[in-house]
Structure 1
Amino acid sequence: MEAIVSVILESGRTAVELALYILLPILVVMLALMKLLEAHGVLAWVANRLAPLLRLFGLPGLGIFAMIKLLLVSFSAPVATLALMDRNGTSLRHIAATFAMVLTMSQANVVFPMVAVGLNLPVILVTSLVGGLFAAALTYYLLARSLDDGAEGDAGAVSRVKERRSTMEILADGGQEGMKIALASLPMLLLALCFVGTLEALGAIPLLGALMTPLLNLLGLPEATVLPIVTKFIAGGTAFMGVTLDLMNQGLISAHDLNRMAGFVTHPLDLAGVAILGAAGKRVGAVARAAVLGALAGMVLRGVLHLLIF
């Protein structure tokens, strides 16, 4: 019983430090700037300029908006966009391509906090774009080809959302949204760290390490990366970040190791991510299988690129 209490208290301390001193300041600033750019039509302008090119990869106008929100806000930000695509009659092929792209590309709520500990931002953004477009095209032209329902909604431009509030009000609103995301991540962080602590106490980590050693040796990663990788695909990106930062503080994982495995783990393709994004609408859930398969291919491409670069 004493060991359980010790794990809970240690996990709570680490989770609070991560949420308050890393997630909170970065997300508050990023969300505030994001809201300001959205209010002044900058995001809509960018999306509309990129639309003709990215439509070649099977992405409609709203799909590009989902990409920007994923890269600059968090993995949950595109949920509203997917829900709108579900309602406005966007074709299933376009929805599937957008869903696959979102599952493949890097999520801002994990990437930006980890830049502070050595994650290479330019490389992660470039590989994210390459992998996301590959996953979208593969899904649209091959995996979701049989899903075409004849609908053609949302092929047009993204409309600018007009704001009648002052700049300070917009910044404050974005900051408050960032605070909500950071604080909402605290329970998941705590539970994930408790899960990790329990695995360590039960001696399961050496067993997992032994099972994954051949693969880790092939990828050139240390045994310590087993824990964050397993945590990522079970509990999600935020939990992965918490575990990884804790291991980096202990000196068990280096910034080089982080960049080598980043292509495989900095995306919403996990149990939690698929469940949350797939719940955006009935038609979105219907294309989940094709989207996941496309995202798996995109993830492998991203992972290989990171191994080659680093």
Structure 2
Amino acid sequence: MELLTQIILDAGRSAVELALFVLLPIMVVMLSLMRILEARGVLDWVVARLAPPLRPAGLTGLGVFAALQINFVSFAAPIATLTMMESRGASDRHLAATLAMVMAMAQANVTFPMAAMGLSFGPALLLSLVGGIVAAAATYHGFGRSLSAAEAKLDETLHHRVADDAKGVLDVINRAGAEAFKISVGSIPMLVLALVAVLALRTSGAIDTLTAALMPLLDALGIDPALILLTLMKYIAGGTAMMGVMDEMLKSGAADVALLNASAGFLIHPLDVAGVAILMSAGPRVARVWKPAALGAIVGIALRSAGHVLLPA
């Protein structure tokens, strides 16, 4: 019992430090910047110019906005946009393409904190964009081509707050700070549980046993054994849990920055049990198209994974 208590306390300390001293300040700054750009109309300008060239990939103006949200806000931010697309009459085919793009891209609530750990942010952002567009195109023209393309007359107006004066800017910053605090504090339970699981598995020797059993296969494929634990945490508990495990492994020397960068495409995206479940909550039609969207996302993630292995950190 004493050992379990110590594991819980150590995991809780690490989780709170990561959430409050790494995730929170980064999310406050980035969310404030994004919300100010949004309120000033800069994002509207960007979306209006990116939407036409990305239309052949199955992305509408709202789809482009969802891409900006996941890359610069968090993986949960596009949920509201997907709900808006559904309610405004977007076709199932466009919904599937947008959902595939979101599931294939790197979420800001993981990439920004991991940039502080050594992730090369520029290549990660570039590969995220490329992977997301490829995922959308693969879904729209391939996996989702049998879905309905019928859509109502779309209203793609982006409704958001304005910041025309100092009071408006301060209001936007305060709301962004509250949003960042909610994201950061909300991540603590999952981080604690993930780190407790990691420490318990290590203490019991389960990870060493699994690694030893898989070692011949890993050696043949040239895969670092450290990815076993990271992969388990990522695809079962989600990206935030994986981030907490990666932080602990970097501090203990079980992983290094080179591994962090090489595995970023494979580990940083919302295509996991928790992520898919949350994204499907955007609406009934979004939930119905998750299978072709997931297949398209796998194509985008595979491209990102290869890119992170081949590009220098």
CA contact (8 A) 1:139 1:290 kept: yes
Aligned ranges for residues 205-244 of structure 1 at < 5 Å? Answer: 205-214=207-216, 216-217=218-219, 220-244=222-246
Aligned length: 309
CA distance in 2, matches of 1:192, 1:101: 27
Compute the displacement of 1:251 (Å).
1.4
Partner of 1:99: 99
Inter-partner Cα distance in structure 1 for 2:96 and 2:159: 25
Amino acid at match of 2:177: G
Aligned pairs for 1:143-182 (under 5 A) are 143-154=143-154, 157-159=156-158, 161-163=160-162, 165-182=167-184
Query: SS of the residue aligned with 1:269?
Result: coil
Q: CA deviation at 1:216?
A: 4.0
The one-character-per-residue Cα deviations of 1:189-217 (angstroms, maximum 9, x if unpaired) are: 11111121222233221233235435544
Contact conserved, 2:94 with 2:149, CA < 8 A, in 1?
no
By how many angstroms is 1:108 displaced?
0.4
Does the aligned pair in 2 maintain the 1:221–1:257 contact within 8 Å? no
* Aligned twin of 2:53: 53
> Could you say what the CA RMSD is over the residues aligned between the two structures, in angstroms?
1.6
Choose 279-288 or 192-201, whichever is displaced more.
Answer: 192-201
Query: What displacement does 1:224 show?
Result: 2.0
TM-score by length of 2: 0.94
| Residue in 1 that maps onto 2:264 | 262
Report the CA distance between 1:150 and its aligned residue: 1.6
Cα offset, 1:67, TM superposition: 0.3
Cα deviation, residue 173, structure 1 = 1.3
Matches within 5 A, 1:1-310: 1-154=1-154, 157-159=156-158, 161-163=160-162, 165-214=167-216, 216-217=218-219, 220-310=222-312
1:212-244 deviations in Å (ceiling 9; x for gaps): 435544564432222112100110000000000
Per-residue CA deviations over 1:24-64 (Å, capped at 9, x if unaligned) read: 10011111111111111111111111000111110011100
> In structure 2, what is the Cα distance between the partners aligned to 1:12 and 1:170?
32
Counterpart CA distance in 2 for 1:149 and 1:214 is: 48
User: Match of 2:146, SS?
Assistant: helix
Change (3 A) 1:21 1:162: closer
Deviations along 1:240-261, one digit per CA (max 9) or x if unpaired, are: 0000011001112111111000
> Which TM-score applies when normalising by structure 1?
0.95
In 1, Cα distance between equivalents of 2:205 and 2:73: 37
Instruction: Deviation per CA, 1:73-110: give whole Å up to 9, x if none.
Output: 10000010011111111000000000000000000000
- Verify the 8 A CA contact 1:228 1:240 in the aligned structure 2: yes
Q: Gapped runs of 5+ residues in structure 1?
A: none
SS of 1:35's equivalent in the other structure is: helix
Aligned-partner Cα distance in 2 for 1:48–1:22: 34
CA distance in 2, matches of 1:98, 1:300: 18
SS of the residue corresponding to residue 106 of structure 1 reads coil
Give yes or no for contact 1:41–1:160 (8 Å, CA) kept in 2.
no
Q: CA 1:282–1:209 in 2, change beyond 3 Å: closer, same or farther?
A: same
Q: Distance in 2 between matches of 1:215 and 1:77?
A: 38
3-state secondary structure, aligned to 2:226: helix
Structure 2: how far apart are the matches of 1:48 and 1:20? 36
State percent identity of aligned pairs.
Answer: 49
Does structure 2 retain, via aligned residues, the 8 Å contact 1:222–1:253?
A: no
What stretches of structure 2 of length at least 5 have no aligned partner? none
How far is 1:157 from its partner?
Answer: 4.6
